[in-house]
Amino acid sequence: MPEGIASQGIGASVRRKEDRRFLIGKGKYTDDINRAGQLHVYFLRSPVAFADIVSIDKERAEKASGVIAILTGEDVAADNLGGPICGWAPTNKDGSAPSEPPHPILANGRVRYVGDHVAAVFAETLEEATSAAELIDVVYSEMPAITDLKTAMDQPQIHDGMEQNTYFDWELGNEAAVNDAFDRAETIVNVHIRNNRVIPNAMEPRAAVAEYDKGDARYTLFTTSQNPQLTRLVIGAFMLNIPESKLRVVAPDVGGGFGSKIYVYPEEAVCVWASKKLGRAIKWTADRTQAFLGDAHGRDHISEVKLALDKNKKIIGLRVDTLANLGAYLSAFAMVTPTYLHGTLLSGVYDIPAIYTNVKGICTNTVNVDAYRGAGRPEATYLLERTMDVAAKQVGMDPAEFRRLNFIPKDAFPYQTALALQYDVGDYEPLLDRAMAMIDYKNFESRRAKSAKDGKCRGIGISTYIEACGIAPSAVVGALGGRVGLYESAIVRVEPTGTISVLTGTHSHGQGHDTTFAQLVCDKLGVDIEAVEIVHGDSDRTAFGMGTYGSRSLAVGGTAISKALDKVIAKGKIIAAHMLEADDADIEFKDGKFTVAGTDREKSFGEIALSAYVPHNFPHDRLEPGLEETAFYDPANFTYPAGTHIAEVEIDPSTGVVELVDWVCCDDFGNLINPMVVEGQVHGGIAQGVGQALYEEAAYDDNGQLLSASYMDYCMPRADNFPSLKVQNLVTACTHNDLGVKGCGEAGAIASPPALINAVVNALSPLGVTDITMPATPEKVWRAIQDAQTKAAE
């Protein structure tokens, strides 16, 4: 392969093709889009958490300057519109279906969280819409807010017809086997875990622009989505009753998602609905306050963990009982996140013969909670990796060696866990060894002593994680209550001049698909990367696909592209055989050339492309014109990235401030397409995990008011909160996709919180501190030290 092309193929850190438009200010985000004659909509939101709406007087507002219309829940009901749906419904442990109360896109008679949509005000300008909203007089009959996860089940029902404010009560695993393990156990470890509630905070707030074309009776929606095809399906088929073919959904450049832009939200549906009703294009852009109040939050679990060890300190059983706060309404992945994405992962990287878990999904008067970077897997990893540290301490072992003792050995793959998943491949000890070498683990105590001389408490914390990615095999998903398949589509369109457009059903919002997917094409077809265009995000252009989340885009979408490329090559061979007057079977394709085996007779890829569209003498009985192939790829299994992250912290005991001083990790993502992009994904994931562990918390008060509703109170990590991050990789190739890839987008966020909290607890353990909840804020750390000292003095 020519050197220039080789440097663009698989394994090369190709600089990103998409960078230029962002760097010169020519990215095209939804809020950058305007339509002639557009109206602006402002959503009047509930100021109270739980109330019946007694009346809405909109008369004064309707007369205000610039106002065109004000729509409320009554209008939604009159037009018989549906709400956002849940994409995946686990079955209750008694075999019944979960409770899925309706979610009207504008509140109908009752509001259930602060921020619930009460009215949509449409006006010529956003200022006019906002001002008019202040003139709407809503009378609420308030009820006590239900915000506490522990006691919500005992409160009055938030939705009529629900019981114990519980969406579902789900279990997985063999409870009898676990009970037996605990009966036999030499050591039992009990850990209480709180996984704090966080807010995704993609830097681009959500936005939507919708218009209706009377001429062809067709809607277009530009929206901030990670999966525009699913948005089209849900809005068309479930919410507004629009034939899919009459709704085009475009997700242009999207400024980060992290899960929060998977779901269909009421605002975008209202824009589509009103665009026809009012005969004007409609634009909505959230400000950050609305993002805090309205975007799906993440995490928010309470778990009780019990681990059984035998006399050899081997784990023989695990039980986890979890309450998951899902907020006031269900969104697309709300129910699958704490169940199949969480419960199935509880074996971690460990050989655990018996596991049982029960998860209850709880309704509260808070905004909905759904998948946030990692989605269920960070929660599972956090509780397991914290428990491993507590257990190691309890049995007097070094946490690294306790983990090593319990690792699934490398000759045990494929490894069937006690919880449904089968890991295809992995080798965990080298990852641990490399990370320990990177941070100089063996000399940690001398660093601790040096810090102590400066009055600082130094700590080190390990997290050896696994995740189930490449979401997901449709057959598995279907059997577990998934309502869609999770395959991916690709169309490879070779154009007459030899340029190539790849249409993918995934969506890039920072992941660099324009580049990495193009690298797959360069590698397979031997063409220059500049000849490749990746197309995503427009339902009119791409085939039906499932979007980007769950570290799935390369493992599933990339494999679909690979398969479509194989089809292109196969057809190219037939064209070449025809042009070279040879047998199809004698044609080889290498380095961008079709050659008759054993001869110097060849055709370049460009010649084949042109010929496909100038088929003057094609034998049409066996060769169609054109060179365009489609593939849908449905994975055979999840992929299982794994790795070791180690954090080192220094704590100032006089203030409680935790400083992150070092971070190393060694991950196994299978084969790497673009190591530079992979490293960037890991950095970002770590930063989000560090944010959750040290800084971030969505705090509600007893009245259901979100106290951390702006960057004044919600602490976003800044550049000065981090040291340089040291990232390395080892590879065991995935065994069941063509590329041998596993996915890397969520790993950092999954691995990092327990590494940090383990490091904080390790730092403070000489003072007698045994636990700290996330986020480890200065006051919390300081108080833990004070309490431990008081206890020690007693």
Measured distance between the N- and C-terminal CA atoms of the chain, rounded to whole angstroms: 74
Q: Which is nearer to other proteins, 135 or 359 (CB)?
A: 135
- Give, for 213, the enclosing helix (H) or strand (E): strand 207-213
Q: Which two tokens stand for residue 391?
A: 């257990």
Q: How far, in Å, CA of 308 to CA of 352, rounded?
A: 10
User: Which residue number, 10 or 658, has a Cβ lying nearer to other proteins?
Assistant: 658
Q: Are 457 and 451 in contact (CB under 8 A)?
A: yes
340 binds other proteins (CB under 8 A): no
Tokens of 57: 């007087």
3-class secondary-structure state, position 247: strand
Contact between 23 and other proteins by CB under 8 A: the answer reads yes
Q: Of 66 and 606, which CB lies nearer to other proteins in the complex structure?
A: 66
Could you tell me the strand order of the sheet in which 117-123 lies?
67-72, 117-123, 39-45, 282-285, 207-213, 218-223, 247-250
Binding mask 103-142 for other proteins (x = CB under 8 A): ------------------------x--xx-----------
Closer residue to other proteins (CB): 665 or 761: 665
- Under the criterion CB under 8 A, does residue 24 sit at the interface with other proteins? yes
Residue 714 engages other proteins in binding (rule: CB under 8 A): yes
DSSP 22-67: HHTT---BGGG---TT-EEEEEEE-SSSSEEEEEEE-HHHHTSTTE
Note whether 767 and 653 are within 8 A (CB). Answer: yes
Stretch of 145-153, 561-569, 579-587, 714-722 contacting other proteins, by CB under 8 A: 714-722
State which amino acid sits at residue 97.
A
Least Cβ distance, residue 701 to other proteins (angstroms): 9
Q: By C-beta, is 44 or 191 nearer to other proteins?
A: 44
**216 part of the interface to other proteins, by CB under 8 A:** no
Sequence-distant (≥ 6) Cβ neighbours of residue 85 within 8 angstroms: 234, 238, 264, 332, 483
Size of the residue set binding other proteins (CB under 8 A) = 72
Contact residue for other proteins among 32, 180, 528, 591 (CB under 8 A): 32
Residue 22 touches other proteins, criterion: CB under 8 A: yes
688 binds other proteins (CB under 8 A): yes
By CB under 8 A, residue 778 contacts other proteins: yes
Query: Applying CB under 8 A, does 666 fall inside the site for other proteins?
Result: no
Question: In the set 711, 787, 790, 791, which binds other proteins (CB under 8 A)?
Answer: 711
SS3 of 410, please?
A: helix
Specify the 3-state DSSP secondary structure of 640.
Answer: coil
**Residue choice 155, 195, 201, 506 for contact with other proteins (CB under 8 A):** 201
Contacts (CB under 8 A) with other proteins, residues 589-608: none
What is the pattern of x (binds other proteins, CB under 8 A) and - over residues 718-747?
xxx-x-xx----------------------
Instruction: Mark 217-236 with x for binding to other proteins (rule: CB under 8 A) and - for no binding.
Output: --------------------
The interface region with other proteins, picked from 172-180, 200-208, 307-315, 764-772 by CB under 8 A, is 200-208
Separation of alpha carbons 643 and 403, rounded Å: 12
Return the range that interacts with other proteins (CB under 8 A); candidates 153-161, 411-419, 615-623, 695-703: 695-703
- Tell me the window of 27-35, 352-360, 362-370, 489-497 that interacts with other proteins (CB under 8 A): 27-35
Report whether 234 contacts 211 (CB < 8 A): no
Strand-pair partners of 138: 56
Which residue from 716, 766, 787, 791 is in contact with other proteins, where contact means CB under 8 A?
Answer: 716
Q: Is 26 in the site for other proteins (CB under 8 A)?
A: yes
Asked if 700 contacts 198 with a C-beta cutoff of 8 angstroms, the reply is no
Q: Which is nearer to other proteins, 84 or 205 (CB)?
A: 205
Tell which positions 271-300 bind other proteins, by CB under 8 A. 287-289
Q: Is 203 in the site for other proteins (CB under 8 A)?
A: yes
What CA–CA distance (Å, rounded) separates 45 from 33? 25
Name 53's bridge partners: 140
Q: Are 262 and 227 in contact (CB under 8 A)?
A: yes
Residue 672: strand, helix, or coil: coil
Indicate the residue type of 403. Answer: R
One residue of 229, 511, 519, 542 binding other proteins per CB under 8 A = 511
Q: Looking only at residues 238 through 257 of this chain, which bind other proteins when binding is defined by CB under 8 A?
A: 253-256
**Which is nearest to 197 in space by CA: 440, 67, 362, 4?**
362
Q: List the one residue from 510, 545, 643, 704 that touches other proteins (CB under 8 A).
A: 510
Tell me how far, at minimum, the Cβ of 605 lies from other proteins, in Å: 28
Q: Tell me, what amino acid is at 121?
A: V
